[in-house]
């Protein structure tokens, strides 16, 4: 790891396990949100993050913002977009950070090179070329101005209620404990979601 990197970036890399362009995107997005909100990392649920991707950048959001699934202040929406919305409960404000489509242009042949590397057919030379390309992308993502990379704007967002702790009930089918709001009733017995047979008429 590069010891010249800022401490918060080093911690994000350690948390994620490696450094890649995806993590750099999340790092810069989280930094942009904190700057816009003039906020600090959440110790509890002071911040709420809505992420529209399940890619590497989400780990940077967790590390820098203190927004995690376990604390209930990380919300995942499966939209497949490099978009991060961060809200401050204290301020009652939210900022949306969206990666611009032209944030880092793809050189000719980049898609084919990526396919070869991830498909396991790349030569040693191609793998080296791919790593050089990844490092160049990371360098670009770390050095560029925020407005070159992202569209950053204030948005209206109703804040979700703080996380609650619920009691558990026992599923009458598998015998495992399930939190009450996720339990269903089936054939007169409590059923967890994995045991519950959803009724539908196909509409």
Token representation of residue 109: 């042949």
Tell me how many degrees the CA angle 140-144-146 measures, rounded to the nearest 5. Answer: 135
Whether residue 70 sits in one domain with residue 23:
yes
| Full residue range of the structural domain in which residue 170 is found | 165-203
Q: What is the pLDDT of residues 72-127, one digit of tens each?
A: 999 999 999 999 999 999 999 999 999 999 887 788 888 888 888 899 998 899 99
Is 95 in the same domain as 170?
Answer: no
Identify whether 117 is part of a domain.
no
Q: Looking at residue 60, what is its pLDDT? A: 98
Q: 196 and 182 in contact (C-beta within 8 Å)? A: no
Residue 91 and residue 178 share a domain? no
Q: What is the pLDDT of residues 146-195, one digit of tens each?
A: 999 999 999 998 877 777 889 999 999 999 999 999 999 999 999 999 99
pTM: 0.83
62 and 96 both lie in a single domain: yes
């Amino acid at each position: 790891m590069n010891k010249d990197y800022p401490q918060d970036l080093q911690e994000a890399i350690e948390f994620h396990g490696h450094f890649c362009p995806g993590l750099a995107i999340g790092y810069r997005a989280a930094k942009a949100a904190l700057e816009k909100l003039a906020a600090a990392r959440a110790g509890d649920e002071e911040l709420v993050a809505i992420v529209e991707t399940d890619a590497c950048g989400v780990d940077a959001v967790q590390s820098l913002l203190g927004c995690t699934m376990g604390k209930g202040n990380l919300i995942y929406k499966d939209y497949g977009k490099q978009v991060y919305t961060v809200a401050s409960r204290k301020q009652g404000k939210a900022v949306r950070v969206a990666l611009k489509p032209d944030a880092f242009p793809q050189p000719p042949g980049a898609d084919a090179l990526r396919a070869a590397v991830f498909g396991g057919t790349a030569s040693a030379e191609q793998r080296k070329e791919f790593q050089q390309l990844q490092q160049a992308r990371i360098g670009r993502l770390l050095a560029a101005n925020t407005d070159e990379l992202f569209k950053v704007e204030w948005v209206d967002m109703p804040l979700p209620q703080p996380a609650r702790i619920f009691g558990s009930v026992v599923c009458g089918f598998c015998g495992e404990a399930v939190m009450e709001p996720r339990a269903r009733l089936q054939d007169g017995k409590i059923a967890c979601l994995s045991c519950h047979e959803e009724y539908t008429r196909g509409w």
